[in-house]
Amino acid sequence: MSDIPTDLPEPTPPQAQRCAVYTRVSMDNAEDDKLSSVQAQFMACHELIASQFGKHWVPTDRIYEDRGYSGSHIRRPGLQQLLSDVADGLVDIVVVHRLDRLSRHMGDFSALMQDFERHGVALVSVTQSIDTSGP
């Protein structure tokens, strides 16, 4: 007989980090482009999420997108849905292509960051050196 206990609990798998991708474009020329700006942003964000597989990052099923909206205000349907899902605890990390996709107004950006922080949500930009998902 072995001295190794056999009634040990199974190890708990690491918690998935739910990543919400937010994309925005001021001018919606999707009909004219074979690959629109929103599609390119979406793909770049998902490539970043896939590269973080070891950190258990997974994309959410919901698409958060605003086409034809300025970044000068936060009254955008896709962003408002994202903020609602953040408040409901459905998002762990927000991934954007560039920070100005969230807001071009520093006051609004600061308020968004405070809201993310209050809900324990990190912000990661694909093209800019910001990643609040770690220390």
Q: Which residues belong to the active site?
A: 26
- Report the alpha-carbon distance of residue 129 to residue 64 in Å, rounded: 22
Q: Are strands 17-25 and 93-96 parallel, antiparallel or unpaired?
A: parallel
66 with 24: CB under 8 angstroms?
A: yes
Residue 99 per-residue DSSP state = G
